[in-house]
Structure 1
Amino acid sequence: MPATSELVIVDDRLLIEELLFGLAKGNDVALCTTFYWYYRACRAAVLGAGGHLSGPFQELDNDEQEQAILSLLELRNDIELPDSRPTVPRMAQIAKRHPRLNLLNLEAVAVGQLTGATVWLSAEAAGGVLPDVLDQEGVTWKTVRIVTD
């Protein structure tokens, strides 16, 4: 990856969008996600339920759907995952300041702090508690809207 690429952390919905349709096309970014967001994306692909995470898989025919699920279960090497050794202690520190924050959000904040990356949130995630905590913890974030045809 080019040294000038901006590192961004994508949430579960944006990870699915990247793997199915190419979210980062035309952007000079290096992608990262969290373990929890990666797990939720895989779970949605495998189990499905018709929600905002699994909905994109239902729109695919059977062969495309199978290929899309495999792309999640065998995550591309160019999408980074965090190192748990520094992440877990940072999560514990953040939890002291935000005791009601769930693991998904604790991990996102910790990875954002440790990497200095911008967190890209889907519209659904941007409507939750995470943006306020990211602001409080000094982590840059932005909403990335998924354009559908």
Structure 2
Amino acid sequence: MTSNPTHLDRAHPPRVPAAELERLARQYATNPNLEALLRDTGKRSWARLAQAPGVEIWVNSWPAGAETGWHDHAGSPGALAVASGSVVEETWALGAVQCRRLDEGDSGSFDAEHVHNVSGRGQGRSLTVHAYAPRLVEMTEHSLGPEGPEPTRTTREGVDW
């Protein structure tokens, strides 16, 4: 059951260390039933796996070549773990796009200001697990310009996803 976002989630975010978010993502990524939770439709899809006050866990399905587009998590730090397949995460640093490939078993965390683009690069579908604290209530889409990602649009839970 999903609860409605509250002002308290943002006003008093839980202090969940990055290492704990990464541990949670890695733990959920080992679930052998993840594949069955999201039907393989050939399109990127996602589902919330778990939620507690201020923290949530998602699973994402990535067909080869599918991507998020540049975005941030509106102030929510997080972590991701690759359950199967491979993804590439693009970030902006030192005046250029930086790429890192994450394969099955790999994980990483990110801070509240992190802007990235993630794409599926496996042979077929890849699955990733994401943990956020505080939980996501909005995300900001960005376009990539010569000076890096620029905010273009804010999307909201219950409206856009």
TM-score range, shorter chain: under 0.3
Tell me the TM-score normalised to structure 1 length: 0.25
Tell me the TM-score normalised to structure 2 length: 0.24
Greater strand share, structure number:
2
Greater helix share, structure number:
1
